[in-house]
Amino acid sequence: MMSAVDREETDKVKRRYDRISPVYNQLEFVMERMAMAGWRQEFWEKVRKNLQTGDLMLEAGVGTGKNMPYYPEAEEVRIEAIDISPGMLSRAESRAEELGIEVNLRKMDIQSLDYPDNHFDLIVTSCVFCSVPDPVLGLKELKRVCKPAGKILMLEHMLSDKLVLKNLMNLLNFIPRHIWGANINRRTMENIERVGLKVAAVKNLWLDVFKEITLTP
């Protein structure tokens, strides 16, 4: 049986991202410069290799649209992008306009997607499963809306398996969680296994914390 969405927790995450949306890009500036921008570039090269003309792609948890500069051309691929936070979405909308990108932006919860089964050829997430209140539910939804021959590509951070770092991440988790609802101690690989998604490839980008993951339903 499908477990229910925790509305209260989901609303809390939405409010936190709404609150930080005006300064989100500034808050992430150093991390973006130091590592994320390079990882995004490499990640999107992989995304493009997995896309064919006419495909339908979903970016789940689009945020302020940081991946948009790497999107394929609209004549190649149709793109949908969703987020729970109207504040983040409005920044994504401005970014899309600025870049002249055609993308259908919608406010939607990854834990209960308003799309039919087997709908997308490719689904992309980056740094999203740290803040989805019930990541297992979110992963189940991605599995449901992905075509059987489709793929899910993720650039995500998670709890380390290395004892000292793991304890530290668990200890400090309350800080990012309280500020913007993001957890640094999610067991994403275990959650992926729990929902029955198959790991086609996984690459560690920084220790065993930041990973690039390719999944099939």
Ligand X SMILES: C[S@@+](CC[C@H](N)C(=O)[O-])C[C@H]1O[C@@H](n2cnc3c(N)ncnc32)[C@H](O)[C@@H]1O
Distance, in Å, from the CA atom of 82 to the CA atom of 142, rounded to the nearest integer, reads 12
Tell the residue number behind the tokens 């309350």, with chain if given: 174
Full strand arrangement of the beta sheet holding 104-107:
104-107, 77-83, 55-60, 120-126, 146-157, 210-216, 198-206
- Considering the complex, state which of residue 67 and residue 188 has its C-beta at the smaller distance from ligand X: 67
Counting every residue, how long is the chain? 217
**φ/ψ of residue 116, rounded to 5:** -70, 165
Q: How far is the CB of 13 from ligand X (least distance, A)?
A: 5
Question: Is there binding between residue 17 and ligand X (CB under 6 A)?
Answer: yes
Question: Is there binding between residue 160 and ligand X (CB under 6 A)?
Answer: no
Question: Is there binding between residue 129 and ligand X (CB under 6 A)?
Answer: no
Task: Out of 128, 153, 154, 195, name the contact with ligand X by CB under 6 A.
Answer: 128
Question: Is there binding between residue 109 and ligand X (CB under 6 A)?
Answer: yes
Task: Out of 47, 68, 77, 88, name the contact with ligand X by CB under 6 A.
Answer: 88
Question: Is there binding between residue 44 and ligand X (CB under 6 A)?
Answer: no
**φ/ψ of residue 64, rounded to 5:** -90, 5
Task: Out of 61, 135, 150, 217, name the contact with ligand X by CB under 6 A.
Answer: 61
Question: Is there binding between residue 66 and ligand X (CB under 6 A)?
Answer: yes
Of the candidate spans 48-56, 96-104, 124-132, 143-151, the one that interacts with ligand X by CB under 6 A turns out to be 124-132
Instruction: Find all residues with CB under 8 Å of 192, minimum gap 6, and list them.
Output: 139, 199, 213, 215
Distance, in Å, from the CA atom of 62 to the CA atom of 3, rounded to the nearest integer, reads 24
- Give the interface with ligand X as residue ranges (CB under 6 A): 10, 13, 17, 61-63, 66-67, 82-85, 88, 109-111, 126-128, 131-132, 182
